[in-house]
A and B are shown apart, each in its own frame.
Chain A
Amino acid sequence: MYNFLPHTEAERQLMLAKIGVKSIDALFSDIPAALRQNMQYSVLPQQGLTEAELQAELQALARQNKGTELTCFLGGGAYNRFIPMAVNTIASRSEFYTAYTPYQPEIAQGTLQVTYEFQTMICELTGMDVANASVYDGASAVTEAAFMAMRTTRRHRILIANSVHPDYRKVLQTYANGLGEVTVETFDPLKPGEALNPNHPQAQKTACVIVQVPNYWGGLEETQSIRQFCQATGALFIVSAEPVSLGLLKAPGSYGADIVTGDIQPLGNHLSFGGPYGGYIATQNKYVRQLPGRLVGKTVDRHGKQCYTLTLQTREQHIRREKATSNICTNQALNVLKATVYLTLVGPNGLKHLANLSLQRTHALASALRKLPGVNLYKPGQAFFSEVALRFPVPVAPLLQHLEQEGILGGIALERFYPDAKNCLLIACTEMTSPSEIERYVEAVRKFLKLNAPPGTPQPPEILQQMEATC
């Protein structure tokens, strides 16, 4: 019973004697009797389970998640990527896994150096000078970056593109509602209209403009006009970027971003039904004192030996209390470790290759699907990266059901987030979606359209030549 508790009953008695009390109850005598008398659990199991029972229970729960047995074409901010074995081997080392926050640098050099290396890698990917030790996730990274921009500019208007991840926008809105005195306005980067006009009456009140590249549906946003608006008005330019894409795509720093954010889940972190992931925030040196969260710096010990420590802690809540840059008092250290090991193993060439692979496979799938009658891009004319939004000539709910029967998780129904995306699916490919699975996807859609296409739509061809050639 309770084999994580070490004491024998005899030891407990010895300890009580040393304390000088007769029973354990005496140690709880300061709790009002009324509270203790009412104490009972009605939902919890009375007895603990054995380890064998616990393992069986977890297995049974895992088996009920039938979704993992299907081929995953889901993306939308969480990506099914290959995780090299060494990533989890290192991350499951107790020395990392069961360590505490590195407040005592003399005995935490492992965690500290890993974090410093992570900060450097994020700077390299984003084209920024400094990166923090991570925040909760991509959503909190966008939110904290926006608040950072408000502190820097002393303004309270936030402009955010409607193509930013819907959850990220919701989280930003929640925090803004909480603080009050913040306006969050959404704009369409494809039709910005007055939003990006520097002469707009509210333009000079803008703290930041937030855009995501690639955006929620995989599209590559044109950022020139945003940069110009920011330069003209003094607003900060914030880019949220998926990190694998940065193996191939331009670093946001090179096109004028002041703050770059994103989620490190695709870098060696499990999907795990949504978390834990990790958010990164990188910026220019001049904004470092407004950067929320932990930072690791290089220094020396009293003998001059090079080492690492948490630094600039006066920005943080444990010192600055209500005047801190944020209330965040943790980071995603284990996720950071996984991302650092992942980027080390993959390297610059591997990352570029993975980005290109995802791009090529997504385009192969998209172009095959687009050859089917009635299938079009959600946003024609916008280049897309490794995720694509396609409009089908049929409602997507039955299409997804059909794909599911074929063993495929076919995509995210986009209308849930964008009312104009009727019959649209968001579809992602990675190195985990094999060419034959891509072929199977196209074939399943072809079959479905053949039976279900609305009257007047031309019938799809029997065999898709282009997929035969490529797979």
Chain B
Amino acid sequence: MNAPLLNTPVLEPSIFELSHAGAQGVSLSAIGVDETPLESLIPPEFLRETAPRLPEISQMDAVRHFLRLSQLNHCIDKEFYPLGSCTMKYNPKVCDYYGMLDGLTRLHPMTPGHLSQGALKIIYTLQQYLADITGFDAVSLQQAAGAQGELVGIMMIKAHFAHIGDTQRTEVIVPDSAHGTNPASAAMCGYKIVEIKSGANGLVDLDRLKAALSEKTAAVMLTNPSTVGLFEKDILEITRLVHEVGAFMYYDGANLNAVMGQAKPAQMGFDVMHINTHKTFATPHGGGGPGCGPVAVTKTLAPYLPAPIADFDGQQYFLNEDRPLSVGKVKAFYGNFEMMARALTYIQAYGSQGLSQVSQDAVLNANYLKACLQEDYQVAFDQVCKHEFILTNAKQKVHDSHLNTMAIVKRLMDYGYHPPTVYFPLIVPEAMMIEPTETESKATLDHFVAAMKAIAEECRTQPELVLNAPHTTPVSKVDEVAAARNPNLNYFGQSAS
């Protein structure tokens, strides 16, 4: 079967439909040694009777299938992604050089230290750089993603209280504006989640925080700039209050891109943080992963970091496993090493002054976009923002009550843009959260403004056009309700064995 015929309701056939028995997409080495009958090596009860129904297809047809699929994706290398809190910025191509070097890609994780000095130096140097950028004393790179970094951060806090015999701390305070991973991570450590309502300005409400804090509090989890894109102006007071009851301050590093070179989380009074390397140091998002979630801590919490940590004895880099108080291992081997090498390259490309410029331009772009859009859309918090800001549909829904935020952002796809983050943070009804990042040019931002203004005009004059959007994408509005009601998660329905 070839590409879909005209008028078929399928964009691209399934790889299983393209399959035809006997074809194979790659040539493979011969066995090369005298073959012993299988049955004399493996007892028959272990051997498979039914072959898995994997595709059988020539290489050309396979390549075309995946290439056609690639064309159905929106990607940052093609067009702008104004995704608040998710930070989609340009991935410098020089970082891809990693993949061309056998000395990095073909290194087995169990290679002895004296034969993997380059890799160990990468881990060690990145640890040092991240400690410098965040102001903390020690860093672990083992975590596979920001969410795992969060989990490790809370685990270390729990381990510390266990170690000093403070057993009364059972609660973690999380603002209602927090990322969903915050409460989920704390719950995975057995903590009760105490949610505090944000103030009308979107920031932490000091009175509510004071009321929630007690000797039962283990930690407060905070993002700064906050999830509404504002710097917590009272941050020094907040961290003081939290420390006063003996609890720790957790910094969700999702928004570090806005403050690099401007302020260090450790100096704000935080005790532990995670970093999402794809948000701040431009490791590829890849359609959802892989990630890398470094964790940085103060001296107090450093003994609990996962083992091993890369170390240097003056001659050789080595993995230090000697961490008796460590929370343990959270990832097989040493974490997502490739992402570490990429993040290191990114940091070296900018240097100290460059990273400071990154944050300045990210903040400049966000404030510029906000200034350009505030006539046509309701701005949720009207003040200087950091790297992101929130609009709502308040000015649009007066034309037609069905003009919710989802309808507006789906229309944006017809103009060639990925929608902003919608319905997050939960505290702003009908939120559209926009983060341009520093890598977008003024021309790109101006085009985006023009599209947003055009949509605002359509909402006034022809709301149906917006309500039925998107019109020009590979598929139109997808029936997600049907997908959840009767889940179809496997081409064959049921598997062979």
Q: How far is the CB of B184 from chain A (nearest CB, A)?
A: 4
- A465 contacts B by Cβ under 8 Å: no
If A43-B128, A99-B75 touch, whether A302 touches B476 (CB-CB below 8 Å) is yes
From 339 to 389 in chain A, residues with beta carbon under 8 angstroms from any chain B beta carbon are 340-341, 343-354, 356-357, 359-361, 363-364, 383, 385
- B241 contacts A by Cβ under 8 Å: no
Distance A42 CA – B289 CA, assembled complex (angstroms): 32
Beta-carbon contacts of A35-51 to B below 8 Å, as 1s and 0s? 11011011111111101
A31, A94, A330, A354: the one contacting B145 at CB < 8 Å is: A330
- B5 contacts A by Cβ under 8 Å: no
Q: Mark the stretch among A199-207, A228-236, A250-258, A455-463 that contacts chain B.
A: A250-258
- B448 contacts A by Cβ under 8 Å: no
Q: How far is the CB of B170 from chain A (nearest CB, A)?
A: 10
Distance A313 CA – B423 CA, assembled complex (angstroms): 15
Structural contact, A178 and B147, CB atoms closer than 8 A: no
Residue of A whose beta carbon sits closest to that of B385? A27
Q: Mark the stretch among A163-171, A189-197, A443-451 that contacts chain B.
A: A163-171
A92, A276, A363: the one contacting B336 at CB < 8 Å is: A276
Structural contact, B348 and A317, CB atoms closer than 8 A: no
B187, B351, B363, B484: the one contacting A312 at CB < 8 Å is: B484
Residues of chain B with a CB closer than 8 A to A1's CB: 354
Beta-carbon contacts of B39-56 to A below 8 Å, as 1s and 0s? 001110111111111111
Residues of chain A with a CB closer than 8 A to B370's CB: 19
Residues of chain A with a CB closer than 8 A to B9's CB: 303-306
Structural contact, A31 and B231, CB atoms closer than 8 A: yes
Residues of chain A with a CB closer than 8 A to B474's CB: 106-107, 109
Beta-carbon contacts of B475-497 to A below 8 Å, as 1s and 0s? 11111101110011111101111
- A183 contacts B by Cβ under 8 Å: no
- B222 contacts A by Cβ under 8 Å: no
Most B-side CB within 10 Å, residue of A136, A278, A340, A346? A136
If A123-B492, A178-B158 touch, whether A274 touches B28 (CB-CB below 8 Å) is no
Closest 9 CB pairs of A and B: A62-B103, A274-B333, A64-B118, A174-B328, A276-B290, A345-B25, A127-B497, A67-B115, A274-B109
Residues of chain B with a CB closer than 8 A to A20's CB: 371
Size category of the binding interface on chain A:
35 or more
Residues of chain B with a CB closer than 8 A to A317's CB: 147, 180-181, 183-184
From 113 to 147 in chain A, residues with beta carbon under 8 angstroms from any chain B beta carbon are 113-114, 116-117, 119-121, 123-131, 133-134, 136-140
Distance A39 CA – B265 CA, assembled complex (angstroms): 11
Structural contact, A177 and B109, CB atoms closer than 8 A: no
Q: How far is the CB of B369 from chain A (nearest CB, A)?
A: 10
B56, B107, B117, B233: the one contacting A347 at CB < 8 Å is: B56
Q: How far is the CB of B88 from chain A (nearest CB, A)?
A: 6
Structural contact, B333 and A167, CB atoms closer than 8 A: yes
Distance A357 CA – B116 CA, assembled complex (angstroms): 29
- B451 contacts A by Cβ under 8 Å: no
Distance A140 CA – B329 CA, assembled complex (angstroms): 11
- B230 contacts A by Cβ under 8 Å: yes
Structural contact, B189 and A179, CB atoms closer than 8 A: yes
If A276-B336, A345-B25, A347-B55 touch, whether A179 touches B190 (CB-CB below 8 Å) is yes
B42, B180, B351: the one contacting A318 at CB < 8 Å is: B180
Structural contact, B331 and A360, CB atoms closer than 8 A: no
Structural contact, B11 and A109, CB atoms closer than 8 A: yes
Distance A359 CA – B328 CA, assembled complex (angstroms): 34
If A4-B439, A347-B24 touch, whether A297 touches B484 (CB-CB below 8 Å) is yes
Structural contact, A276 and B236, CB atoms closer than 8 A: no
From 215 to 255 in chain B, residues with beta carbon under 8 angstroms from any chain A beta carbon are 230-231, 233, 235-236
Structural contact, B495 and A126, CB atoms closer than 8 A: yes
Structural contact, B490 and A123, CB atoms closer than 8 A: yes
Structural contact, A41 and B103, CB atoms closer than 8 A: no
Residue of B whose beta carbon sits closest to that of A25? B360
From 116 to 135 in chain B, residues with beta carbon under 8 angstroms from any chain A beta carbon are 116-119, 121-122, 128-129, 131-133
A54, A301, A400: the one contacting B477 at CB < 8 Å is: A301
Beta-carbon contacts of B48-68 to A below 8 Å, as 1s and 0s? 111111111101001101110
Q: How far is the CB of A400 from chain B (nearest CB, A)?
A: 8
- B350 contacts A by Cβ under 8 Å: yes
- B284 contacts A by Cβ under 8 Å: yes
Residues of chain B with a CB closer than 8 A to A80's CB: 106, 108
Tally of contact residues, B, Cβ under 8 A? 206
Distance A104 CA – B75 CA, assembled complex (angstroms): 12
A61, A167, A324, A400: the one contacting B121 at CB < 8 Å is: A61
Residue of B whose beta carbon sits closest to that of A321? B183
B32, B145, B155: the one contacting A178 at CB < 8 Å is: B155
Distance A345 CA – B16 CA, assembled complex (angstroms): 12
Residues of chain B with a CB closer than 8 A to A288's CB: 487, 489
If A12-B364, A96-B287, A106-B470 touch, whether A174 touches B327 (CB-CB below 8 Å) is yes
Distance A359 CA – B268 CA, assembled complex (angstroms): 57
Residue of B whose beta carbon sits closest to that of A173? B328
If A59-B101, A106-B475, A311-B483 touch, whether A7 touches B361 (CB-CB below 8 Å) is yes
Distance A303 CA – B474 CA, assembled complex (angstroms): 12
Structural contact, B288 and A133, CB atoms closer than 8 A: yes
- B322 contacts A by Cβ under 8 Å: no
Distance A7 CA – B358 CA, assembled complex (angstroms): 11
Distance A49 CA – B351 CA, assembled complex (angstroms): 7
- B84 contacts A by Cβ under 8 Å: no
Residues of chain B with a CB closer than 8 A to A307's CB: 11, 475, 478
Distance A25 CA – B51 CA, assembled complex (angstroms): 65
Distance A257 CA – B161 CA, assembled complex (angstroms): 39
Residues of chain A with a CB closer than 8 A to B187's CB: 322-324, 327
If A273-B109, A317-B184, A360-B33 touch, whether A99 touches B289 (CB-CB below 8 Å) is no
If A12-B364, A99-B75, A299-B483 touch, whether A86 touches B25 (CB-CB below 8 Å) is yes
B116, B263, B360, B439: the one contacting A24 at CB < 8 Å is: B360
Q: Mark the stretch among B91-99, B294-302, B397-405, B454-462 that contacts chain A.
A: B91-99
Q: How far is the CB of A434 from chain B (nearest CB, A)?
A: 7
From 40 to 90 in chain A, residues with beta carbon under 8 angstroms from any chain B beta carbon are 41-49, 51, 54-55, 57-68, 70, 72, 74, 76-78, 80, 82, 84, 86, 88-90
- B2 contacts A by Cβ under 8 Å: no
Q: How far is the CB of B319 from chain A (nearest CB, A)?
A: 11
- B465 contacts A by Cβ under 8 Å: no
